[in-house]
Amino acid sequence: MSTLADQVEARPSAEAQIGGLIFAIILIDQESRVVEINHAAEMLLGRSEKRLAGQPISEVVELLDARVQEHLAQPDASLIARDISMFVDGQEHRVNLTISPLSAHPGWKVLTLSDTGRDDAAHEQDGEGASLGAPAILAHEIRNPLAAIRGGAQLVARKLEPKDRGLARMITDEVDRIARLIDRMQQLGRSTPELLSAVNLHEAIRSAIGTVHAAGNDGVEIVEEFDPSLPPVLANQDALEQVLINLISNACDALRSSEAEEPQVWVRTRFVSGFAFSAVRLGRSVKLPIEITVTDNGPGIDEALRDHVFEPFVTSKKSGQGLGLALVRKLVRDMQGRIGHERDTRLGLTHFRIHLALAGKEGAS
C-alpha cells in the first residue's frame, strides 16, 4: 500500500494536469500574443500550438463582446463570462470564458474557453431522465382508454348519417394524434439504447434525404456536400436516419414558413481532427471526429427559445408538440455522440451539428 509521500512523488506534473483538462487554456503574453495552448484548445480552435504560437489573440479568435475585448486589453483585468459568441475561421461557437491575470508576471494572462454547444454536460445531470420516466409510464396507462375511444367512435360512425360522420372522424383523428404523441414520449423515456455498430454515414444521410423528398419538400433545395473519404461511424442505422429526417424536415418546414428567396438546406460531412466532447461522459473524454451539419438559410429559431431547443415540449411551431428535437438529442446521446445548435447571425444561417465517433478500434479514446 502506497504512502502519502509515495503518492505525492508520483503525482502528475502541472503540465500533465493542464494537458489533460477538458476545457481550452491559452497563455497570452504582455503583447496579447498566444504563447502556449493545451490539447483541448487545439481541438476547439482546430489548429496546433505550433501554428498558433506568436499570433495575436485577436487573429486567433474573434470575440464580439465589448466587455471581453476591454478586459483583454487591460493588463490586470479578470473576467468570467458565460455563453458568449466567439468566431474561429468564420464559424460561430458559444463559449464560457475566463480571463485570469498572472500577478507574478505583469501583463501575462490565462484565457480559458469551454464550448457550451447548446447541449452541455449539465443536462446529463439535471434529472432529465427521471423527469421523462413519469410521462412514459403515464403514456402506457393512457393507451387502453384511447383504444376504447377510437373503437367507440368507429362504431358510432357506422350508425350516423353521412353528413354527421365528420365528427366521428375528428374523434378518431385526434385519438391517432395523441397516440403518435405517446409513442414519442415513450421513446424519450426509454432507458435502453439501441445497439451500436459500424454505419456507412452517407448511405444513412441519403436514405434520410430520400424520405424527406418522398414526403414533399415543396421547392426547398437539399444540397449534399460530403467528404467521400470518411470511414464508418459508431451509430445505430435506424436512429441516425431518424435524427437526420427530423433535422432536415425541420429545416424544410422553417423555410416553407419563411420568405427566403432561394430556400436551401445543406447537409455536410467532414473529419474534424482531434475534436472531443468537452465533458466527461462514461468516465472518459469521448473523441468525436466525424461531423454532420444540417444548415438552412431560414429565419432561425426564436431567440428566446435558442437555449432550450432540445428540451421537451419547447417549440415555435403552432401545431408542434416540442418533442422532435428532444428525441433527436436522446438518440444522438444514445449513440455516444453530441449535437449542438448555432445561429450565424452574420450570414443568416442556422446550423445543427452532430459529432460521432469512429467505428471499431479507430474510435477508441
| Tens-digit pLDDT profile for residues 229-282 | 999 999 998 889 989 998 999 899 888 877 777 899 999 999 987 555 544 444
* Pair (299, 219) in one structural domain: yes
We report the CATH number of the domain holding residue 12 as 3.30.450.20
Domain that holds residue 135: 126-189
Average pLDDT of span 287-296: 92
**Grid cell digits, residue 13:** 506534473
Identify whether 227 is part of a domain.
yes
Query: Do 344 and 203 share a domain, yes or no?
Result: yes
Amino acid (one-letter) located at 164 = D
Residues 204 and 73 in one domain: no
Whether residues 177 and 233 fall in one domain: no
Q: Sorting pLDDT into bands at 50, 70 and 90, what band is 118?
A: very low
Domains: count for the chain:
3
Residue 276: what pLDDT? 56
C-alpha–C-alpha distance, residues 337 and 309, integer Å? 17
- Does any domain span residue 157? yes
Of 167, 189, 211, the residue at which a domain comes to its end is 189
Q: How confident is the model at residue 184 (pLDDT cuts 50, 70, 90)?
A: low
Q: Which of 139, 172, 189 is the last residue of a domain?
A: 189
Q: What is the pLDDT of residues 35-56, one digit of tens each?
A: 999 888 887 788 888 889 999 9
- Residues 205 and 305 reside in one and the same domain: yes
Question: Which amino acid, 69?
Answer: Q
| pLDDT-based confidence at residue 129 (cuts at 50, 70, 90) | very low
pLDDT tens track for 328-359: 888 898 898 989 888 888 888 999 999 999 99
Helix axes 324-334, 237-256, angle to 10 degrees: 150
Checking if the pLDDT of 226 tops 90, the result is yes
Whether 131 is in a domain gets the answer yes
pLDDT at residue 123, rounded to an integer? 45
Question: What pTM does this model have?
Answer: 0.57
Let me know if 237 is exposed, middle or buried by CB neighbors in 10 A (0-12, 13-18, 19+): middle
| Residue 121: inside a domain | no
> How many beta carbons lie within 10 A of that of residue 68, not counting itself?
19
